[in-house]
Structure 1
Amino acid sequence: MTSETVDEWRRPGPTAAQRRLDRYFGLAATLLALFSLTLVRSTGAFLLGSPPSGLEQVLWTIAVPLPLIWRRRYPAATALVVSAAFIGAQARAVPEWQLSQWALFAAIFTLGAWGRDRRLARRLRIGVIAAMFVWMAISYTINYRSLPPDAFENAVGPVPPLLAAIVTGVMINLLFFGFAYFFGETAWIAARRQHQLAEQAEQLRRSQAEAREHAVIGERVRIARELHDVVAHHVSVMGVQAAACRRVLDKDPAKARTALASIEESARTAVDELRRMLGVLRAHDREPAEAPQQAAGIDQVETLVGRAREAGLAASLGVYGDPTPLPGSVSQAVYRVVQEAVTNTLKHATGARTLDVRIRYLAQEVEVEVTDDGRATRPPNADGLGLVGMRERVATHGGELEVGPRTGGGWRVRVRIPLPVTAGRPA
């Protein structure tokens, strides 16, 4: 927080409970001051000179501490009234000054701790303190004229007695007003820091809420992507095989049985993958020994090609280069990209007869290319779950994705994913 922001911060006003406490505090201080006046009058120690009438003494004694009942609600006005009443009582030689000076201390402290306008609060406190020292100088001057000749006859120290009295009074008042100013400023700084901590806690709470919300959204997107990859592919394959089964059911029962067996296998595989995915989502509730089985990877691409063959496509798989063990996440990403490309061919490529899947292990990357010779039934939807899922998976590993028609007809999906450099692979 900058200094300008510090000056602009306004401390909230006192609560109802604090205002009620101030009333009790002001009344208690007034009663104690009256009790102190009674004790001083009983001892007859009128150090300030001949006192005024008893009623005037009572009124001045009440006038100094009573404004403290509004000290936190109106700190500036309270400090001015209390300081003016204190000087007035001193000028009238009211004998009660012990409780009155602590009322003055409380008023200056409260102005420092609760003054909403910091510049005004500083100026008022400095002005009140300066007025007190001016009054002290005037008081010393007045009292010096009335000192008896034998006032310092017992003085034995090396310092002149009058100078010693003045230095003592100045030192005590410096400490008195210095502490009132310092503690008031410290209380205000503590309140501002507490406000900052409350704001930071609120910002942290909002940030945590936003992070949880983003995590939920991210988890929903991940679930949607997984469901799309798992369900869409197998359901598409089952749809194609079911259509083929319907066409050959009467003419070639053997082929129909084969298609039905493929549908059954695809359904079972889809259920297994759904269970695996749900197991991953609930993995935080499982023991390590109960972790779900490993996700499908690049070594199972041949299974996808086989399903495409069963669906009636002339599907082929070519692997080029020296196969290199891939990180699990990269292997799964390659598998999902091929799965989505095969699904799109089965669903959207009209007249497709061939499907070609090629995996190339290069020096610093793995490249996967899936092509067909069909015609797209509709333009590709860049915001579709399939393309979005492929793009997110590839981007996660810093790869590149190319999707579009081929020059000679058909459709191509090409992915390049960089591989971590290992000691066994040339740069």
Structure 2
Amino acid sequence: MPSVTPDEWRRPGPTARQRRIDVWTGLAVAAVAVINLFLSRGGGIFDFVPAVALWEQVVWVLAITLPLTVRRRYPEAVAITVALALLVSRQRGIQELQITTGVLFAAIYTLGAWGRNRAVSRNLRLGLVGFALVWITLAVLVFGGPLPEPAVAASLTMNVLVVNAGFFAFCHLMGDAVWNGVRRRHELEEQAAELRAAQALAAERAVLGERVRIARELHDVVAHHVSVMGIQASAARRALDKDPVRARTALSAVEEGARTAVDELRRMLGALRSGEAEPATVEKVGVDRLPEITDRAREAGLTVEFAVYGEPVPLPESLSQAVYRIVQEAVTNTLKHAHARTLDVRVRYLNGELELDVTDDGRGGSAAAGGMGLVGMRERVSVHDGTLTHGPHPDGGYRVRARFPYQTGVPA
């Protein structure tokens, strides 16, 4: 998303809940201002102000306060309306001076915090602040009665200007601060959304890349079986007339190899291939090479225990490769993230199921829980209809456990 300057950014309008709050707040302020008007008249607080009829004063009080009911929807219009109504009401001699003056503060603040056009609202706020300062100064001089000396008048004028300048500047700056805070939060939300999208894309690419890698390995496995089938079929053809027994044996091997190849092809349906390049040569790995992984972990300084439980059985080459890769990735995560001292790798041949268990005693193993390595593990496990669990071990450290179903008697 292209970036915009602060003046170009537009703050979203108020929510329905915020509009309801404004309505009730505006009505409450109007009611308090009317009550304060009656109290001011009854107490003679502002008897020095030339008063007009009570009904007209009530009208002016409502004209100043009721616009607050829509202050966040129409901040510019509310600020101008309040300022003009306040100016005229003072000229007419309204005797409520406290709440209505505070309404002008609120209007200036709202204009800063909710103004749609940043440049316009900034200029309008500055104009309103200047207007308010001049108006208050004139009001003090006009309604304050005759002053004893010009020096006193000058001192009072400066006092009024300084004090009220502080009030109006505070409203002005608070509005700016709120608006900038909302803009920064909006930018952070956009950045977070972009990061989430990038992370999702990276995860998707990692899944695709891992599937390509799996497909390449399965390609070699299936190619091996097909090659063997071709050799056996050729032998059967040559021996068909001269040695029928040998031909039947060769054909049985072809039949068994076909079953295995079909099973491997079925697993390939779960993997995607990009088709961008021919499969690269993949190193032949499997369960029998697991000690190489643990030996490398020992060389890296870990104390490693490696054990195989149960009676090993022949595994399909794709499954054997998946077992190797999962143990390899788990050990790699331990070396990179866990800060571990010991590593325990166990392979269990259960009844129709192969279980892997890789456990370390580290403190940071879970740092890899959201990494791309575990994405690859999940893909490999899912291709072989297995299950994968990982997380902190109850006794400390981190554990990765995978289980694969297998059929006995399937040739490797």
Judge same fold: TM > 0.5, yes or no.
yes
CA distance in structure 2 between the partners assigned to 1:184 and 1:51 by the alignment: 34
Residue aligning to 1:76: 76
How large is the Cα RMSD of the aligned pairs? 3.3
When residues 47 and 124 of structure 1 are mapped into structure 2, their CA distance, relative to the original with a 3 A threshold, is farther
Residue aligning to 2:42: 42
Larger mean CA deviation between 38-47 and 100-109 belongs to: 38-47
Q: Using the TM superposition, give the Cα deviation of residue 67 of structure 1 relative to its aligned residue in structure 2, in angstroms.
A: 0.5
Aligned pairs for 1:148-297 (under 5 A) are: 149=148, 160-252=151-243, 256=247, 271-280=315-324, 283=327, 288-290=345-347
Q: What is the number of equivalent residue pairs in this alignment?
A: 284
Residue aligning to 2:10: 10
When residues 21 and 208 of structure 1 are mapped into structure 2, their CA distance, relative to the original with a 3 A threshold, is same
CA distance in structure 2 between the partners assigned to 1:223 and 1:3 by the alignment: 41
CA distance in structure 2 between the partners assigned to 1:193 and 1:48 by the alignment: 49
When residues 161 and 192 of structure 1 are mapped into structure 2, their CA distance, relative to the original with a 3 A threshold, is same
Q: Using the TM superposition, give the Cα deviation of residue 48 of structure 1 relative to its aligned residue in structure 2, in angstroms.
A: 5.3
Tell me the secondary structure at the aligned position of residue 65 of structure 1: helix
Residue aligning to 2:146: 147
When residues 148 and 105 of structure 1 are mapped into structure 2, their CA distance, relative to the original with a 3 A threshold, is closer
Amino acid at match of 1:44: G
Tell me the secondary structure at the aligned position of residue 95 of structure 2: coil
Rg comparison, structure with higher value: 1
Q: Using the TM superposition, give the Cα deviation of residue 128 of structure 1 relative to its aligned residue in structure 2, in angstroms.
A: 0.9
Tell me the secondary structure at the aligned position of residue 6 of structure 1: coil
Residue aligning to 2:122: 122
Larger mean CA deviation between 51-60 and 160-169 belongs to: 160-169
Q: Using the TM superposition, give the Cα deviation of residue 224 of structure 1 relative to its aligned residue in structure 2, in angstroms.
A: 1.1
Residue aligning to 2:97: 97
Q: Using the TM superposition, give the Cα deviation of residue 257 of structure 1 relative to its aligned residue in structure 2, in angstroms.
A: 8.1
CA distance in structure 1 between the partners assigned to 2:143 and 2:3 by the alignment: 46
What are the ranges of 5 or more consecutive residues in structure 1 without an aligned counterpart?
153-158, 294-427
Amino acid at match of 1:163: A
Tell me the secondary structure at the aligned position of residue 7 of structure 1: coil
Which runs of at least 4 in structure 1 moved beyond 6 Å after TM superposition? 260-270, 284-287
Residues 284-316 of structure 1, C-alpha deviations (whole Å, 9 max, x = no match): 7997323999xxxxxxxxxxxxxxxxxxxxxxx
CA distance in structure 2 between the partners assigned to 1:216 and 1:3 by the alignment: 31
Tell me the TM-score normalised to structure 2 length: 0.61
Amino acid at match of 1:16: A
CA contact (8 A) 2:25 2:68 kept: yes
CA distance in structure 2 between the partners assigned to 1:132 and 1:141 by the alignment: 14
Q: Using the TM superposition, give the Cα deviation of residue 47 of structure 1 relative to its aligned residue in structure 2, in angstroms.
A: 6.0
CA contact (8 A) 1:48 1:94 kept: no
Amino acid at match of 1:56: E
Q: Using the TM superposition, give the Cα deviation of residue 97 of structure 1 relative to its aligned residue in structure 2, in angstroms.
A: 1.3
CA contact (8 A) 2:67 2:78 kept: yes
Amino acid at match of 1:177: F
CA distance in structure 2 between the partners assigned to 1:2 and 1:54 by the alignment: 57
Amino acid at match of 2:75: P
Residues 129-175 of structure 1, C-alpha deviations (whole Å, 9 max, x = no match): 1112222343344347x4165xx8xxxxxx95333322221111111
When residues 203 and 11 of structure 1 are mapped into structure 2, their CA distance, relative to the original with a 3 A threshold, is same
CA distance in structure 2 between the partners assigned to 1:2 and 1:231 by the alignment: 49
CA distance in structure 1 between the partners assigned to 2:44 and 2:143 by the alignment: 19
CA distance in structure 2 between the partners assigned to 1:259 and 1:239 by the alignment: 10
Amino acid at match of 1:95: Q
CA distance in structure 1 between the partners assigned to 2:78 and 2:322 by the alignment: 69
Amino acid at match of 1:181: H
Amino acid at match of 1:195: H
Amino acid at match of 1:273: E
Q: Using the TM superposition, give the Cα deviation of residue 275 of structure 1 relative to its aligned residue in structure 2, in angstroms.
A: 2.0
Tell me the TM-score normalised to structure 1 length: 0.59
Q: Using the TM superposition, give the Cα deviation of residue 4 of structure 1 relative to its aligned residue in structure 2, in angstroms.
A: 5.5
Q: Using the TM superposition, give the Cα deviation of residue 5 of structure 1 relative to its aligned residue in structure 2, in angstroms.
A: 2.0
Tell me the secondary structure at the aligned position of residue 346 of structure 2: helix
What are the ranges of 5 or more consecutive residues in structure 2 without an aligned counterpart?
265-314, 332-343, 349-353, 356-412
CA contact (8 A) 1:48 1:93 kept: no
| Percent identity (aligned) | 45
Larger mean CA deviation between 35-44 and 69-78 belongs to: 35-44
When residues 63 and 138 of structure 1 are mapped into structure 2, their CA distance, relative to the original with a 3 A threshold, is same
Q: Using the TM superposition, give the Cα deviation of residue 74 of structure 1 relative to its aligned residue in structure 2, in angstroms.
A: 0.6
Q: Using the TM superposition, give the Cα deviation of residue 107 of structure 1 relative to its aligned residue in structure 2, in angstroms.
A: 0.6
Larger mean CA deviation between 83-92 and 189-198 belongs to: 83-92
CA distance in structure 2 between the partners assigned to 1:117 and 1:186 by the alignment: 16
Q: Using the TM superposition, give the Cα deviation of residue 263 of structure 1 relative to its aligned residue in structure 2, in angstroms.
A: 6.2
Tell me the secondary structure at the aligned position of residue 52 of structure 2: coil
CA distance in structure 1 between the partners assigned to 2:85 and 2:91 by the alignment: 10
